[in-house]
Amino acid sequence: MLSRAKPAQPQQTAGMTYLDKGSLITGNLSTNGHLRLDGAIKGNVSVKGTLEVSTGASIEGEVLEVESLLLHGSVKANVNARGKITISKTGRLIGDVKATSLDIETGAVFSGRSEMNAAAISSQIDPSRGIPEAEAKKAAGKA
């Protein structure tokens, strides 16, 4: 007996939001996909994907929540990233950051405190490297 192939289900892909140079948003912004900013935002921002802030672009708010951040422009906010924050040589970040990793190029400006997420610490501890379990738990804040 022949069977019919099931129709392909559309793939769920993260969309891309683009705010052009000269754009200004005053208020909070939330997006489920990625965001490339060439304009300015005055308010809190939540991005479920990667946020790229281009040279000349800016964000000024209290909180910026992202999956990852690629910063060439200016951010004045506390940043919570589930992934990596990269500040390029033209980037300027004023505020505290929490991330799994922070990469700051020579020439970049960063003024604030940085903290590696406890979940990221525990996932990066490799028992094969000889770190005692008690020390590993303490580093992950579980002691």
pLDDT for res 40: 97
Instruction: For the chain, give the mean pLDDT.
Output: 83
Range from 7-11, 40-44, 56-60, 100-104 carrying the lowest mean pLDDT: 7-11
**pTM of the predicted model over 0.85:** no
Angle at 122 between CA 119 and CA 126, to 5 degrees: 150
String of DSSP letters for 111-134: ES-EEE-HHHHHHH--GGGT--HH
Range from 13-22, 55-64, 81-90, 107-116 carrying the lowest mean pLDDT: 13-22
pLDDT reading at 12 higher than 80: no
| Residue whose C-alpha is closest to residue 27's, from 19, 5, 116, 70 | 19
Average pLDDT over residues 92-105: 96
